[in-house]
Chain A
Amino acid sequence: MPEIAVLVKRVPDTNAKIAISGDRVDLSSVKWVMSPYDEFALEAAMMHKESNGGTVTAITLGTPDCDKVLKDAKAIGVDRIVRVWDDSWSDLDSNQVQSALVSALKELSTEVVYCGKSAADTGASSTGPGVAERMGWASVSNIIGIEFEDAGVEVLIPRNIGNARTGVSLPAVISCDKGFCKPRKPNVKGIMMAKRAQVEVLGADIPTSSINIVSHTPPPQKASGQKFEGAGNVPTVVAALRNDANVI
């Protein structure tokens, strides 16, 4: 009966406009949501429990504002909701975030952790593998399929030459891409359960930061539209998409 954890993060809605005020992003008027890939991780964690039993704990890191994503997780059926935070913390770097999460995971005796393949704010993809390393566990990232076995899981990982059907024994951290499952939706009864649920708050000792955020700045302006006459210019456009736009 595994102790299953899922890491969920509160991020600005992916449609939100991100404003810069002074030298920092100004998130005061954005709508907040659970990071989209985390919804797939949450679904995978629920599927794991349905297959192998155990309990699912949703964990987030942040201020009390982040309780909403935990309530969202509770509304679709997780057993426990835990927030890791200390009021003395601010602007945590990856090293600090992972240390804090690892401290909570150890306290909860977790055996398998699910997370999204990246968070919609930083897009860094650091937390899953970083947490695994600190726990001394296996990790698999960007999975697009999963089957549950007695002592582990079998996942599908996209590689250049095809998809690798990969066996992972537990304990492990599994970071999830979208597409392999349809995240379940809450219902009114789940929401009423969430209303009554208590968020457990855990603290942690964390190291000092080794990076300094100098500033946030707006992205470079796109050049205004260019129009070319004739198919002979296709190579020029392809080169621009590669080198200027960085989209291929």
Chain B
Amino acid sequence: MVYEALDFYDIESECTEEEIMVRDMVRDWVDEEVIPNIEAACREGRFPEEWGKALGEMGVLGMTIDEKYGCAGMSYVAYGLVCQELERGDSGLRSFASVQGSLAMFPISAFGSEEQKMHYLPKMASGEWIGCFGLTEPDYGSNPGDMITKASDQGDHYLLNGAKMWITNGTVADVAVVWAKLDGVIRGFIVEKNDPGFSAPEMTGKHSLKASVTSELVFQDCKIPKDRMLPSVKGLKGPFSCLNNARFGISWGAIGSAQACFHSAKEYALSRIQFDHPIASYQLVQNKLSWMLREITKGQLLALNLGRKKDAGTWIPEQISLAKMNNVDMALEIARMARDIHGANGILDEYPIMRHMANLESVKTYEGTHDIHNLIIGRWITGIQSFTRTL
């Protein structure tokens, strides 16, 4: 069915012409290249390599970064719209773009030396080099500050030791931005795929984000040159600033998943006949569709407002937490409700519902779990942090 985006409050009129052009460019590409092929990619459990190249050709990788590094210098609203359209295709696809742009390119652009920027960013923007981001460890998820991956200064090089887990793109990455403790302080390091002592085995057996590569990163006396440390950031501020950008993208991306489920549910309800009438004519179904519209519309307004604040530089991290938490949560509920409307048909891969639902379970947890975002907001309200018992 031809996709018609829900835009109940006319968000489009709040966007600039070029923001809409970028959105439509990605929307058309997703319709033509992604949606017809995504189910096969999921069954095979692979991320189609050509999609990464296409994102590079379209110029959406790291698209908010300055033009002098081969990027586009576009607004965060444009980036949000791109995430929305990509995730309407699949969360795994949006994850690829988020990791490349917000988690790998952004720290290099924000905290890297001029040489590092010139060396890595143009090739990453074009999709020639794929990046990944190593923060989470097997035993440190919500609590990255206690990470055990270490770097040691060997005079003319660093040695990295430790392991990272749940790393999107890890196995296929050419460049990894890895956070490790140097003399007890968290620092960012750029690791390249052929560095000695570095390996990135793929994690298999996922029921979610099946068209996305998830990996471990293993460092065993991994030797990297001295000029690979990001010079301008120390402590958790580094990785957290990356996460803020990625979470911002997710808050828009989730709207895309919700739109895909809503669109499918609406079309299905209008064409499915039971008791002689389309099920869309029954009040219980209309109630569900109305709820979906309400939640998507609120999510859109939240995302747009946050986007404008991001572009103006007037945002606070708690606002990003709220948007990420709310929009993923509503998208997951909409996916579940859409499955209900589709009846038994909803479990088939003829429809995108179960795939989005399963994907969103990951999205709810990664980049700060739903609960952690609640605690971030709880701290903002009360002034009391409740992450740890050490009060």
Contacts and interface: CB of A to CB of B under 8 A. Distances in A.
Nearest to B16: A195
A188 B59 contact: yes
Interface in B35-78: 57-60, 63, 67, 72-74
A68 B17 contact: yes
| Residue with the greatest number of chain B CB neighbours at <10 A, chosen from A68, A71, A191 | A191
Contact of B25 (A15, A68, A185): A185
Interface of A: 15, 68, 71-72, 75, 185-189, 191-192, 194-195
Contacts of B57: 187
Contacts of B67: 192
B2 interface: yes
Contacts of A187: 25, 57-59
Contact of A194 (B21, B29, B60): B21
A188 B25 CA distance: 9
Nearest to B73: A192
Given A191-B18, A192-B73, A195-B16, 6 more contacts: A185-B29, A187-B25, A188-B63, A189-B59, A192-B72, A192-B74
A186 B24 CA distance: 10
A19 to B, nearest CB: 16
B58 A71 contact: no
A190 B16 CA distance: 15
Contacts of A194: 18, 21
Given A15-B2, A188-B63, A192-B72, A75 B58 contact: no
A188 B17 contact: no
Please provide the 4 A-B residue pairs with the shortest distance between their CB atoms, ordered closest to farther. A188-B59, A188-B72, A187-B59, A195-B18
Nearest to A68: B17
B249 to A, nearest CB: 15
Interface string B133-155: 00000000000000000000000
A41 B261 CA distance: 36
B233 interface: no
Contacts of A192: 18, 67, 72-74
B22 interface: yes
A224 B58 CA distance: 47
A188 B60 contact: yes
Nearest to A33: B24
Given A192-B72, A192-B73, A192-B74, A186 B21 contact: yes
Contacts of A15: 2
A189 B61 CA distance: 12
Among B17, B21, B22, B59, the one with the most A-chain Cβ atoms within 10 Å of its Cβ is B21
Nearest to A67: B17
Contacts of B73: 192
B28 interface: yes
B341 to A, nearest CB: 23
Contacts of B25: 185-188, 191
B370 to A, nearest CB: 32
Nearest to B1: A15
Contacts of B29: 185
A179 to B, nearest CB: 16
A195 B59 CA distance: 15
A68 B19 CA distance: 13
Given A68-B17, A195-B17, A188 B28 contact: no
A157 B168 CA distance: 51
Contacts of B21: 71-72, 75, 186, 191, 194
A161 B60 CA distance: 47
A188 B58 contact: yes
Contacts of B28: 185
5 contacts: A71-B21, A185-B25, A189-B59, A191-B22, A194-B18
Contact of A188 (B2, B16, B22): B22
Contacts of B74: 188, 192
Contacts of B17: 68, 71, 195
Contacts of B22: 188, 191
Nearest to A14: B2
A189 B72 contact: yes
A189 B60 CA distance: 9
Nearest to A195: B18
Nearest to B70: A189
Nearest to B63: A188
Nearest to B19: A191
Contacts of B60: 188
A182 to B, nearest CB: 11
B102 to A, nearest CB: 16
A68 B21 CA distance: 9
Contact of B58 (A68, A72, A185, A195): A185
A188 B24 CA distance: 11
A75 B73 CA distance: 16
A126 to B, nearest CB: 29
A24 B58 CA distance: 40
Contacts of A185: 25, 28-29, 58
A185 B73 CA distance: 20
A195 B73 CA distance: 13
Interface in B74-120: 74
A208 B29 CA distance: 44
Contacts of A188: 22, 25, 58-60, 63, 72, 74
B58 to A, nearest CB: 5
B128 to A, nearest CB: 15
Contacts of A195: 16-18
A75 B74 CA distance: 15
A188 B28 CA distance: 14
